[in-house]
């Protein structure tokens, strides 16, 4: 089973770390400050290793990028480009701007014909970014239970093998993966998070996911 290096220490990193462990993977979380994860690590059963961004990047055969969108490039540099080149990187991030939502609509620092994942893919061409998990709350990322069955996870990326690997993980995690094509599809997939968040900001309703219904 592959080793997973998760860059991040927030809710997404923790939820996916617990999920990967539950599904039999070895996991290391990366952070600037390992002390902040000490208490969580005991509740996670000490099965998750914790280290620096660089240690987690080296550890993982598969990488998850789960940091503040504005810090993504800085974290990749801290992790070390050489430790990430050639690896599949599940990109959970959203390019959320440092301003509050307007009537519940999140503001992004990217324009309409841009996405954070494309910026990362252009800057680091040897890394295999696959957008996933960005448009659902962390509570539903692994083994989501909805009476309508498996929800849809829209993914995209330029590397076919990397997407195949992520599709397999998503299926194991209880999702119906839908491949939306190359990196440019990160534009609508990142925007989907804005829509997903609206019921939350307007009505404090965060318990939903998206399902693609086909004729
Ligand atoms: N929360 C959700 O349910 C959810 C759902 C879908 C997608 N997302 C997306 O997933 C990503 C992670 O979200 P999150 O809520 O788990 O955590 P978050 O609060 O957005 O990010 C926390 C992580 O970002 C890192 N970070 C923040 N500022 C930094 C800086 N200046 N330099 C280096 N690292 C920095 C932190 O590093 P340290 O560990 O060193 O503090 C930490 O690991 C975000 O892009 C978010 O938009 C979130």
Residue 74: band (very low, low, confident or very high) from pLDDT cuts 50, 70, 90: very high
Which of ligand 1's atoms lies nearest the C-alpha of 37? 39
Distance 8 CA to ligand 1 centre (A): 6
Ligand 1 proximal residues by C-beta, below 6 Å = 8-13, 31-33, 66-69, 71, 74-75, 92-94, 96, 134, 137-138
Q: What is the 3-state secondary structure (H, E, C) of 130-175?
A: EECCCCCCHHHCCCCCCCCCCCEEEEECCCHHHHHHHHHHHHHCCC
Q: Beta strand 88-91 with 128-131: parallel, antiparallel or unpaired? A: parallel
- Note the pLDDT of residue 28: 97
Q: Check: CB of residue 132 under 8 Å from CB of residue 155.
A: yes
Across residues 48-71, what is the average pLDDT?
A: 98
pLDDT score of 44:
82
Question: What mean pLDDT comes out for the span 186-213?
Answer: 98
What is the pTM for the complete model shown? 0.98
Question: Which residue has a Cα nearest atom 48 of ligand 1?
Answer: 12
pLDDT > 90? residue 43: no
Task: Compute the distance from residue 68 Cα to the ligand 1 centre, in Å.
Answer: 3
CA of 10 to the centre of ligand 1 (A): 5
Mutate to test the pocket of ligand 1, among 66, 89, 154, 200 (most ligand atoms within 8 A of CB): 66
Say yes or no to pLDDT of 47 above 90. no
Average pLDDT rounded to a whole number, residues 148-156: 98
Span 30-40, pLDDT tens digits: 999 999 999 99
Q: What is the pLDDT of residue 45?
A: 73
Which ligand 1 atom sits closest to the C-alpha of 14?
16
Residues 192-213: what's their mean pLDDT? 98
Which atom, in ligand 1's list, is nearest to the CA of 137?
3
For residues 97 and 109, is the Cβ–Cβ distance under 8 A? yes
> How far apart are the CA of 175 and the centre of ligand 1, in A?
23
pLDDT in tens, 96-148: 999 999 999 999 999 999 999 999 999 999 999 999 999 999 999 999 999 99
Share of the chain above pLDDT 70, in %: 100
As a whole number of angstroms, the distance between CA 95 and CA 3 comes to 27
According to the model, what pLDDT value does residue 30 have? 98
């Amino acid at each position: 089973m592959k080793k997973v290096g998760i860059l991040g220490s927030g809710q997404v990193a923790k939820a996916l770390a617990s999920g990967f462990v539950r599904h039999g993977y070895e996991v290391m979380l990366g952070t600037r400050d390992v002390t902040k994860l000490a208490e969580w690590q005991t509740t996670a059963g000490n099965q998750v290793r914790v280290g620096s961004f660089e240690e987690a990047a080296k550890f993982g055969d598969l990488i998850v990028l789960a940091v503040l969108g504005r810090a993504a490039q800085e974290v990749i540099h801290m992790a070390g480009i050489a430790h990430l080149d050639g690896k599949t990187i599940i990109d959970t991030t959203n390019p959320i701007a440092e301003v509050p939502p307007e009537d519940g609509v999140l503001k992004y620092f990217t324009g309409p014909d841009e996405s954070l994942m494309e910026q990362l893919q252009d800057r680091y061409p040897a890394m295999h970014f696959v957008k996933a998990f960005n448009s659902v709350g962390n509570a539903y990322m692994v083994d989501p239970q909805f009476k309508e069955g498996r929800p849809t996870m829209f993914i995209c990326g330029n590397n076919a093998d990397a997407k195949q690997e992520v599709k397999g993980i998503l299926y194991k995690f209880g999702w119906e993966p839908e491949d939306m094509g190359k990196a440019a599809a990160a534009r609508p997939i990142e925007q989907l998070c804005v829509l997903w968040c609206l019921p939350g900001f307007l009505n404090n309703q965060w318990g939903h996911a998206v399902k693609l219904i086909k004729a």
